[in-house]
Amino acid sequence: MKIAVLAGDGIGPEIVAQATKVLDTLRRDGLKMETEVAAFGGAGFDAFGDPLPESTLQLAQAADAVLCGAVGGPKYDALPRAQRPEQGILRIRKALNLFANLRPAIMYPELVGASSLKPEVVSGLDVMIIRELTGDIYFGEPRGRTTNAQGDTEGFDTMRYSQTEIRRIAEIGFQTAMKRAKRLCSVDKENVLETSRFWREIVIDVAKQYPEVELSHMYVDNAAMQLVRRPKQFDVIVTGNIFGDILSDEASMLTGSIGMLPSASLDAKRKGLYEPIHGSAPDIAGKDVANPLATILSVAMMLRYTFNQDEWAQRIEKAVKAVLGRGLRTADIFEPGMTKLGTQAMGDAVVAAL
């Protein structure tokens, strides 16, 4: 197992260091794998003038899986779009064909009090959001600036999805639902968008191969509302790139902290890039306060989805639960009566629990 490790910017290096400790512990216990680090995001720009340096892309292509921290920071905000750290993540997704983004939102019983919603609304929550990741308005052409007939300048992007793109992400949605409660909700904006009308048609067609899955459709605005109203109605959600970007941030917060949630971005052969769903949090970078658990849980997802090592994955997940059960908390999930730990101490606690 070859893992490319791209720590990135802000809190990225700190949280990835904790995930690396976890990997080292598993290696000590017999898990066979190699890791190699490379510059990415703002760090890639600093070292090579490119958020996705050629050498980093080659390493990621050669590896079986990629572990990422986070990218971006105020230092890079003024750069032209092509050089911004965010382009590094968008380009690596596209280059590795990582079209399926799995973002689970799971409520840990120990953290029910950390959610901004009432305990009865969120306790037991377990939603899997599947976001299409290499198409839609994020990549659609044409895009740019133009001058219209009135002489006014316009900015524009293009929302588009091909049948192939919709079909393959719908398949992932149905297959995931089959392994869970067999309920799939496809989210679109079919009442307004042509892209969404086509999306819905194709999803309905793919559904014929999965008669056991109960398929529903929901407009994205309603889905945003239902997620805070009655989130437990959802099992698996499948949606396009931009809707999934927004809804997955919303869903993460139901669980109390965006600092807890891992993600997997997979290609058709289950090669994957694994990262926490939160960002680089420049305001707390270097202060040893960031929550490393989302990154550590991303390693568990990596072992499960790319390497088919479910037992090792469960071992990590159990260690995280044990740490929470002992009342150990980083600042983002801290409640009175608990023990507050820094980033490194939390990493050490997980290693000890392993």
CB-based contacts of 93-97 (< 8 A; 24+ apart in sequence):
93/133, 93/134, 93/265, 93/273, 94/134, 94/139, 95/52, 95/57, 95/60, 95/61, 96/60, 96/61, 96/66, 96/267, 96/271, 96/273, 97/134, 97/267, 97/268
Using the rule CB under 6 A, is 250 a contact of ligand IPM?
Answer: no
Which 8-state DSSP code applies to residue 239?
A: E
The interface partner of residue 89, options being Mg ion, ligand IPM, none and the CB cut-off 5 to 8 Å by kind, is ligand IPM
- Name the DSSP letter for residue 259: G
Interface with ligand IPM, residue 267, by CB under 6 A: no
Residue from 90, 181, 228, 345 in contact with ligand IPM (CB under 6 A): 90
Task: Report if residue 250 touches Mg ion, rule: CB under 5 A.
Answer: no
Q: In whole angstroms, how close is the CB of 180 to ligand IPM at the nearest point?
A: 22
Q: Is residue 157 flagged as an active site residue?
A: no
The verdict on 86 binding Mg ion (CB under 5 A) reads no
Please say which residue, 245 or 348, places its beta carbon nearer to ligand IPM: 245
Q: What span, in angstroms and rounded, lies between the C-alpha atoms of 139 and 137?
A: 5
In the complex with Mg ion, the residue whose CB is nearer, 126 or 245, is 245
Q: Which of 54, 102, 71 minimizes the C-alpha distance to 7?
A: 71
Q: How many CB atoms lie within 10 A of CB 82?
A: 9
Of 126, 157, 245, 288, catalytic: 245
Please state the closest distance from residue 62 (CB atom) to Mg ion, in A.
27
Q: How far is the CB of 283 from ligand IPM (least distance, A)?
A: 16
Q: 189 catalytic, yes or no?
A: yes
Nearer to Mg ion, 171 or 245 (CB): 245
Q: Is 108 a catalytic residue?
A: no
275: which strand partners?
263
Q: Is 249 a catalytic residue?
A: yes
* Residue 86 in the binding site for ligand IPM (CB under 6 A): yes
Residues shown for the chain: 354
Interacting positions 228-247 with ligand IPM (CB under 6 A):
245
Cβ(12)–Cβ(41) below 8 Å: yes
> How big is the site for Mg ion, counted in residues (CB under 5 A)?
1
Are 343 and 19 a contacting pair, CB within 8 Å? no
Residue 101 Cβ vs ligand IPM, minimum distance, rounded to whole Å: 8
Residue ranges that bind ligand IPM, judged by CB under 6 A: 86, 89-90, 245
